[in-house]
Chains A and B, each alone.
Chain A
Amino acid sequence: MATVNVAVNERAFNDVVMAVAKYLESVPSFSGSGSFGPFSASYSVGLKLTGGSIDLTNTGRVHFDELHLTYDPLILNLGIDLPTIPIGGECILPTPWGCSVRLPEIDLFDANPDISIPINLSNTIVSEFSGEFTVSDSKQVLVAKGSLRPHAAHFSPDTSNEIRDRFRSTVGTIPFLPTSAVNGIADAFVPFVKSNLADKWQFFLHDVWHNLELISISDTAANILRNLTDFIIDKILAPVPSIVRGVVKAILNPIFDAIAAVLDIPDDILEWLSSQLQISFGLFDLLAQLIINFVGSMVPFYQFEDPFPMIEDSSGLLPVLVPVENVSVVVNDDEFVMSADIG
């Protein structure tokens, strides 16, 4: 039995991993919600990967350096449960013993004023992901073998949900992710595997440490949030004659001052949004965990069939297949080296 060493330099390794990381963009957008007093919010978010690099280190780790994640889509739905605001109630006949007659009260709002305002922040917020990972290998053996091919001694049809269930089980470990999102994300990866059900050697990246930070919010997003109360009031006042808007705003302003106090929107919108998304929604933890799980166990960054087709079948000739055993990997500063026993 012979031993084969295959070395991939850092640049080629970077290209391989980044190509797989791009797969993140095909993951369906997911959503969540939270509430704080009279204010509620829900979000729907998807990701795009841009920039950054992947370096090999002499500690045997793979270093992800400042990968930029752009949130697209990122839709925030802000909900406000306004109190009913009556017009009237003034005393028009005061007496020494109290008020004898008051004006009737008429509601400023027709019905229960639950306001929902969609705010589109797609492509306006960017996060930066960095981390270090170790590399491991494992052999995937599925019950289903796919259709009979020349080098397969037998086959078992893929009639089970084994692959789908494996992915759902892995994605389901992400906390606070609703079941619908778990299934949607997991099922997106199933076709990736089902295209080839043969036994394989697979290589995965496992998290040592990671950091996901909000690094920039465009002026558009900052202005929207800074003028949030005016933005909401103008939505409410859409049907009000413009000549009367100032009057109604004066009536509503005390309510929105209270809401702004609840939101505690400071001058630093970056800090506020980061705090809300992180603390109130746990969004960054969610995304970081999704990335970690993705690169860690869901989709390998590289794989090959076992037995390995050294010479493909062609012109009616049988393929030359070589069994592979005892696969191991080593990472150093210059290259990624895979060793295996063949034959």
Chain B
Amino acid sequence: MNTVINQHLFRHRESNSSAFNNLCTLVHKLPEEGTYAGEVVQGKRLLGTFRLRCDAKNELSQVNIDLSTFDALFRANVAGLTASDTYAVGKDGYVVFYASAHHDGLYVKLTKVSKENGGSTFDSRRLDNGDIVTFRLWHAGSYRISNEHGGHEAALSVLNAEDGKFPELAKRGPVRVRLSDKGFDPAKMEIWPTQPLVISVEVPAALRLQSNDSVLAKHSGPVTRGGQQLHK
């Protein structure tokens, strides 16, 4: 029998918007028209570069950029996979950065190509007001989301079916959260597996998603969640 299931989808349990994987999608609105030079980096390795054109004449409201396709070795092993080095989106359009494969530790930089110095830049390692972070998880359990720039934290529960039967997951819409200077609103969330968690960022942010199982393993002292002592 052909092995056909996409196993990359289940590889990761945690994610980080400043070094993301296929559990995380970043959405950034370009501030002005023009041409932007993009760099895709994995860890300390430059995977590739691209050009992004933001033009009022273009009607597209979003452009999707799959950072996995910039890995030449990955492309060589996937039949029919091609990478583009030029993208275009309309004025006030959004750029959606994501990874479809196994890659982790990804970040992307955008620099406006301009004759003047000091053109606007975007670095996914430090998100800002207007950016959107989406997490989509497969493994049930409890998680913690923390903002490494502001120290804010939120508790996330990914629900597990009691009798092994999940609800119709395809019909579950996103759960929406705001991150402001006051923290996450709401600060406790529950989602089903594969249900998107959409976080609208209003302050400088680098969001880290951790499984509480790994957090418990690292801590030597007691850990509490929801007022209950979980681990000694």
Contacts and interface: CB of A to CB of B under 8 A. Distances in A.
Contacts of A107: 6
Given A106-B9, A250-B166, A244 B4 contact: no
B169 A247 contact: yes
A88 B161 CA distance: 21
Nearest to A106: B100
B6 A116 contact: no
B75 to A, nearest CB: 15
* Interface range on chain B (Cβ under 8 Å from partner): 35 or more
A235 B7 CA distance: 14
Given A92-B198, A102-B62, A235-B1, A108 B10 contact: no
A236 B6 CA distance: 11
Query: Considering residues B2, B4, B61, B136, which has the most beta carbons from chain A within 10 angstroms of its beta carbon?
Result: B4
A110 B4 contact: yes
A296 B161 CA distance: 62
Nearest to A251: B169
B147 interface: no
Given A104-B64, A251-B170, A116 B194 contact: no
A239 B3 contact: yes
A113 interface: yes
A243 B140 contact: yes
Contacts of B98: 103-104, 106
Contacts of A93: 27, 94, 132
Interface in B1-59: 1-7, 9-10, 22, 25, 27
A234 to B, nearest CB: 11
A250 B194 CA distance: 11
Interface string A109-133: 1111111110000000000000000
Interface in A111-157: 111-117
Contacts of B62: 100-102
Interface residues of A, number: 39
B99 to A, nearest CB: 9
Contact of B4 (A113, A117, A247, A248): A113
Contacts of A90: 173-174, 196
Given A90-B173, A108-B9, A244-B138, A101 B4 contact: no
A51 interface: no
A110 B3 CA distance: 8
Contacts of B165: 246, 250
A309 to B, nearest CB: 60
Contacts of B66: 104
Contacts of A251: 169-170, 194
A316 interface: no
Contacts of A110: 3-6
B119 interface: no
Contacts of B10: 240-241, 244
B152 interface: no
Given A104-B64, A250-B167, A240 B7 contact: yes
Contacts of A111: 2, 4
14 contacts: A87-B194, A91-B173, A93-B94, A101-B62, A101-B96, A101-B132, A104-B96, A106-B22, A115-B1, A117-B1, A246-B161, A250-B161, A250-B165, A250-B168
Closest 10 A/B residue pairs (Cβ): A250-B166, A247-B193, A113-B4, A104-B64, A109-B4, A101-B94, A92-B198, A246-B164, A101-B62, A106-B100
